Amino acid sequence: MSSNTKKRSALGKGLGALLENADTDITSKSDSAVIGAIAMIPISSIEANPFNPRSNFEKEALIELSESIKVHGIIQPLTVRKLGRDRYQLISGERRFRAAQLADLEEVPAYIRIANDQTMLEMALVENIQREDLNPIEVALSYQRLIDECKLTQDQLGQKISKGRSSITNHLRLLKLPVDIQAGVKSNKISMGHARALVSAGDENVQLELFKRVLAEKLSVRDLEALIRGEEIKPVAGNNQKVKNSKSPAISEQEYTFKEHLSDRLSTKVDIKKSTTGKGKLVINFNSEFDLNRIMDLLNK
């Protein structure tokens, strides 16, 4: 197996697997005592990672981490690649790197690796996608960069990051939203559920108008979906609750979660329609005979 194949195989398991792969070390393979070792590197010799998809770093959180670093030091080493004599570039750990700068550290512990630009991009993106604190837009941008710059299909991307194709598709669709709505997702003004509903709400003007209503009236995802279906939401006199002008009763939170889960699994729109008697139907949409067969295959697994 070639070293390039080994590196690609490791990428599918995340950055941790890559770091355990000796083929990514710059040190001599014959020197087993050095391979994988941690070195102390002057912080002035490290430059930021231009491939990092993460663009937002909360100042208060960085200050808190900086104070912790002053007391305990950096527990988890950074990962860098060597650019030249006494010059390094971050692969992962930019938050720790920035906090270390705030703490006025002169040097930091780091793993040293070698990587070309494409491998560097894949490593940085895969590492960041696996973080829990990325917002959905940052995740979507990471997916798009891996697809565009690393020439991956959605299926190949799903294998690398252990995500279903429907999850990848749902994130990528967010990038079609107007900039103002994407900014609302990034700043947590609306949830990914709101954003997903807005994607299919109509043209840009309709999306923006609904977005403004969500913010002004603090609408839930279910309220927004009702608006999109034409079921006007009206405030109840004397309180901030809202009711749907619809003959169909609202579905419960548990039912809504199930609907979203099934929609993700099947990569199609799913609806739960209930009557006042408690009866109803589960509607699974399909676009063609081929799409129907695809959905049936998934349900039969």
- For residue range 109-120, what is the model confidence (pLDDT) as tens digits? 988 876 666 676
**Residue 292 clears pLDDT 50, i.e. is over it:** yes
Half-sphere exposure of 169 (CA within 13 A, CB side): 11
- H helices, E strands: number in the chain: 14, 9
Residue-wise pLDDT for 160-177, tens only, equals: 777 778 888 889 999 999
Q: Report residue 11's pLDDT band, with 50, 70 and 90 as the boundaries.
A: very low
d(CA 2, CA 285): 45
Which parts of the chain are beta strand (E)? Answer: 38-42, 46-47, 78-84, 87-92, 107-113, 233-235, 242-244, 270-274, 280-284
Residues annotated as part of the active site: 94
Residues forming a β-bridge with 291: none
Share of the chain above pLDDT 70, in %: 71
Range with the largest mean pLDDT of 46-50, 179-183, 261-265: 179-183
Least confident window among 23-32, 53-62, 104-113, 146-155: 23-32
Q: Determine whether domain 3-117 maps to CATH 3.40.50.880.
A: no
**Residue 79 clears pLDDT 60, i.e. is over it:** yes
Mean pLDDT of 66-72: 88
The answer to whether 270 touches 196, Cβ cutoff 8 Å, is no
Hey, how many other C-beta atoms are within 10 angstroms of the C-beta on 183? Answer: 13
Q: What are phi and psi of 110, to 5 degrees?
A: -155, 145
Least confident window among 3-7, 193-197, 263-267: 3-7
Q: Report residue 26's pLDDT band, with 50, 70 and 90 as the boundaries.
A: very low
User: Between these two residues, 89 and 261, which has the higher pLDDT value?
Assistant: 89
Q: Which residue, 56, 62, 236, 251, is CA-closest to 136? A: 56
Q: 280-284 and 270-274: which strand pairing?
A: antiparallel
d(CA 233, CA 230): 9
Q: Report residue 250's pLDDT band, with 50, 70 and 90 as the boundaries.
A: low
Share of the chain above pLDDT 90, in %: 16
The CA distances from residue 53 to 48, 79, 188, 242, 261, in Å, are 12, 16, 18, 38, 27
Q: Report residue 5's pLDDT band, with 50, 70 and 90 as the boundaries.
A: very low
**Residue 154 clears pLDDT 70, i.e. is over it:** yes
**Residue 59 clears pLDDT 50, i.e. is over it:** yes
pLDDT at 18: 40
Least confident window among 26-35, 46-55, 129-138: 26-35
User: Between these two residues, 210 and 49, which has the higher pLDDT value?
Assistant: 210
pLDDT at 276: 72
Could you state, in order of their start, the residue ranges of all structural domains in the chain?
A: 3-117, 248-301
What single DSSP character describes residue 25?
Answer: B
d(CA 27, CA 37): 10
What single DSSP character describes residue 75?
Answer: S
pLDDT at 182: 92
pLDDT at 21: 43
Mean pLDDT of the chain: 75
Residues forming a β-bridge with 42: 107
The full DSSP string for 36-73 is: T-EEEEEGGGEE--TT-------HHHHHHHHHHHHHH-
Mean pLDDT of 135-149: 83
